[in-house]
Amino acid sequence: MHFDLDAGQRELQSALTRFCHDLFPVAVARESGEKGLDRGLWRRLADMGVFALALPDSDGGAGLTVVEQVLAFEVLGAGLVPGPIVGSTLAAGLVEGASTGDVVVAAVTATDGPVLVPGLRDADWLLVLHDDRVELVEAAGIHGDLVSRPLDPTSPLTRLDAIPSGEVLLLGAASDALCRTASLLTSAALLGIARRTTELATDYAKTREQYGRTIGSFQAIKHMLADMLALAEVASASVHAAGVMLADTSAEAERAVAGARVLAGKAALHNAATNVQIHGGMGFTWELDAHLYLKRARLLSVSHGNVDAAAETVATQLRGALQ
Amino acid sequence: MELKDSEADAQFRKELRVWLADVVPSLPSPPDPRDRWASRRFDETWQRLQYDAGYAGIAWPKAHGGRGATPTEHLIFLEELARADAPDVGCGFVGQGHAGPTLIAEGSDEQRAEHLPGILDGTKVWCQGFSEPGAGSDLAGLRTRAVRDGDEYVVTGQKIWTSFAQVADYCELLVRTDPDAPKHKGITWLILPMSSPGIEVRELVTLQGEAEFAETYLDEVRVPVANRVGEENDGWRVAMVTLSFERGTAFVPEMLESLRLVEDLARLSERLRRGRGPAWEDAGIRRELGTVAAELDALWALTKRNVTRGESGTVPIVGGSSFKLYYADVRHRLGDLAMRVLDQAGLVLEDLPDLTVGRHVEGSLHAFAVSIAAGSSQVQRNILAERVLGLPKER
């Protein structure tokens, strides 16, 4: 057992963190939401190897596993990187040009209720994840309306009348594995938000002064920050463990992936909301980024699963393990 | 990042499983915990079996009679004991987890030779005399006085939460030797033989209705200076060495027990009715069961990361305090969930015919011990905020 990042994994995260800091400041996410995805930047993201991490070397990938994908998505989530990053990562190796960033692939999990697809506006293809299969649909043939006021202004949302059907790409175990990866990479991005909002709130609490003291010296604020830290820390153990179990095709992977959504979803929503609260009046403004983390967390927390359904899955697995 | 056992660890686990499968069924049934002396005899029997099999002092260095297991092996040991439903450490807790490691780190050769063997083979029981009625979270505020008189200290004061004091042979005792020095600089660590004249132990009944703790009154108790561990007035540092052992794997056995509690609760939820159907059919109950199970799984993963980081010598404050804070919260929610599932069956602290509910009701009360003992949740938040996030100190 060695349950911690190795040197290569740390380097992957720090290189990607620098990359996001330099090329994807939050202003880029805002602009992407308003004006459309910058395809040049998207190719730079592909050049970093983000989409092809788990592809074999022979296919131009890095030959790594879902563990490294999880670590990468933690960083991308923290950076509010725009665009359908989960879809294009799932599509690498399945859809020509996805891994190199030449085509953009969005993904949606088919559910009942209104069909709202993030990232479809900017995509060439759409992956549709069903319970038993994965289908691929050409975006140009899908008729939908762009939502004028999406909750997350950095993620364009298209409303469809129905889930579109297309070519069946995967069935059975391969389809299940893709759905689990979609869920876990989304959870990893949620974890990134949980961590980043803890840092932002802490930094603000160290500089903002009221009553002649930095607000971070008040126990009421300190304890909120400590709770954020603990939530993110425990969630990271859960998400990373699920990555290892998924890579090992462990029998417990389904419970672990669902558990990761419960932990990361709770941590991201709680921490993003607390970050707004700690920023006070400024946190309530459009100008400050605090609301963007909360809104992205809301979007991700219902993408490729949700916390309630994940909790049900864990409960069902728990009962199954007892029989 | 890797969760699987190495080849050597897999071998260690396999041998341990074989031994446990053989020895655990051979143990006598545990006595009524209210019978302290019978419990002590039971714990000694179990410790002696571990000693004979080479598992005593699992994490202690070989040079001091331990097994010298790696932190990972230690974790496997605790995991397999829980899996085999083996007894817990019982009254050996303070000796094996605190006093022994402190003597190894700070004791003299004579002190080690006199005390370590009895801790390892289970024949000697220790208790902890740290907290006082006026010194809880602020432990350094302790006031039990020790006045030097020739080659003895004369000790007067009162200690509280001294678990096992009723049956202990020794007490690891913190006393104030310099009342004028700053509070951290006037404390000394002593080995107190519990047979010394002037000691009175009074049982302290907890909200669980059991005399798990005791108060220990010291009235001019004479302790030889030779029983001092470390220098006079350097006891705070010595005590911190002890406390550092308390935050590593100390909660692993009961965390694994919590996982079994949630499993048992899932089983019970299929038998107990709630409204028109079994409690399991209630989506709110089911989700909370799933949530608590996911959180305990996550804490188990965090433990593995903490242990991995501990292998390379880094003390994981963020991991340790996050674990303690989050675990306490999960224990409270598990207790609340149990009470919802049990409904009126949760009104008794004992099992009902055909329904083993006592452990869940006990567990709902035990949650307070988790969020108060070994650094309360409020203290853990201060630690995380000040020592990890770098926020200004309280004072």
- What phi, psi does B88 have (nearest 5°)? -80, 180
Are B177 and B187 in contact by the 8 Å Cβ rule? The answer is: yes
Are B198 and B220 in contact by the 8 Å Cβ rule? The answer is: yes
Q: Contacts of residue A244 in chain B, CB cutoff 8 Å?
A: 1-3
- Catalytic: which of B44, B73, B79, B246? B246
- What phi, psi does B296 have (nearest 5°)? -70, -40
Averaged over B194-217, what is the pLDDT? 93
Helical segments of A151-252, H only: 172-207, 219-247
CA–CA dist A205, B389 (Å, integer): 10
Whether residue A305 lies within 8 A of chain B, CB to CB, comes out as no
Of A202, A238, A248, the CB nearest to B4: A248
Q: Contacts of residue B294 in chain A, CB cutoff 8 Å?
A: 238, 255, 258-259, 262-263, 310-311, 314
pLDDT above 90 covers what percent of chain B? Answer: 86
Confidence of residue B210 (pLDDT cuts 50, 70, 90): confident
Is there a contact between A314 and B381 if contact means CB atoms under 8 Å apart? no
The answer, yes or no, to whether residue B340 has pLDDT greater than 80, is yes
Of A229, A241, A245, the CB nearest to B389: A229
**Half-sphere exposure in the Cβ direction for B120 (13 Å, CA):** 26
Return the SS3 of B26.
helix
CA–CA dist A189, A214 (Å, integer): 31
Of A4, A230, A245, the CB nearest to B308: A4
Structure tokens at A123: 């995509």
Q: Contacts of residue B385 in chain A, CB cutoff 8 Å?
A: 216, 222-223, 225-226, 229
Q: Please, which residues bridge with residue A157 across strands?
A: A118
The answer, yes or no, to whether residue B245 has pLDDT greater than 60, is no
Averaged over B368-374, what is the pLDDT? 94
CA–CA dist A59, A134 (Å, integer): 21
Confidence of residue B315 (pLDDT cuts 50, 70, 90): low
Minimum Cα–Cα distance from A198: chain B residue: B389
Is there a contact between A9 and B266 if contact means CB atoms under 8 Å apart? no
Q: What is the mean pLDDT of chain B?
A: 94
73-112 in chain A: CB under 8 A from chain B: none
Are B86 and B92 in contact by the 8 Å Cβ rule? The answer is: no
CA–CA dist B385, B379 (Å, integer): 10
The answer, yes or no, to whether residue B215 has pLDDT greater than 70, is yes
Is there a contact between B301 and A241 if contact means CB atoms under 8 Å apart? yes
Predicted local distance difference test score (pLDDT) of residue B312: 73
pLDDT above 70 covers what percent of chain B? Answer: 97
Alpha carbon separation from A215 to A211, A274, B383, B393 (Å, rounded): 8, 14, 17, 12
Predicted local distance difference test score (pLDDT) of residue B246: 46
Predicted local distance difference test score (pLDDT) of residue B281: 96
Whether residue A273 lies within 8 A of chain B, CB to CB, comes out as no
pLDDT one digit per residue (tens) for chain A, 323 residues:
899 999 999 999 999 999 999 999 999 999 999 999 999 999 999 999 999 999 999 988 999 999 999 999 999 999 999 999 999 999 999 999 999 999 999 999 999 889 999 999 999 999 999 999 999 999 999 999 999 999 999 999 999 999 999 999 999 999 999 999 999 999 999 999 999 999 999 999 999 999 999 999 999 999 999 999 999 999 999 999 999 999 999 999 999 999 999 999 999 999 999 999 999 999 999 999 999 999 999 999 999 999 999 999 999 999 988 87
**Half-sphere exposure in the Cβ direction for A111 (13 Å, CA):** 14
Confidence of residue B247 (pLDDT cuts 50, 70, 90): very low
The answer, yes or no, to whether residue B310 has pLDDT greater than 90, is no
Predicted local distance difference test score (pLDDT) of residue B249: 77
Are B263 and A322 in contact by the 8 Å Cβ rule? The answer is: yes
CA–CA dist A242, B121 (Å, integer): 40
Whether B246 is catalytic:
yes
Q: How many C-beta atoms lie closer than 10 Å to residue A278's C-beta?
A: 22
139-168 in chain A: CB under 8 A from chain B: none
Which residue segments constitute the domains of chain B, with CATH numbers given? 7-88 (no CATH), 126-233 (2.40.110.10), 247-388 (1.20.140.10)
Averaged over B120-131, what is the pLDDT? 97
Indicate the pairing of strand A167-171 with strand B126-129: unpaired
Which residues neighbour B243 within 8 Å (Cβ) at sequence distance 6 or greater? none
Is there a contact between A240 and B289 if contact means CB atoms under 8 Å apart? no
Whether residue A18 lies within 8 A of chain B, CB to CB, comes out as no
Return the SS3 of B5.
coil
Is there a contact between A205 and B304 if contact means CB atoms under 8 Å apart? no
Confidence of residue B33 (pLDDT cuts 50, 70, 90): confident
Predicted local distance difference test score (pLDDT) of residue B244: 62
Q: Which amino acid is at B69?
A: A
Q: What is the phi-psi region of residue B326: left when phi exceeds 0, alpha when psi lies from -120 to 50, beta otherwise? A: alpha
Structure tokens at B261: 């509690």
Predicted local distance difference test score (pLDDT) of residue B242: 64
Predicted local distance difference test score (pLDDT) of residue B241: 81
ipTM of the complex: 0.97
Which residue segments constitute the domains of chain A, with CATH numbers given? 173-322 (1.20.140.10)
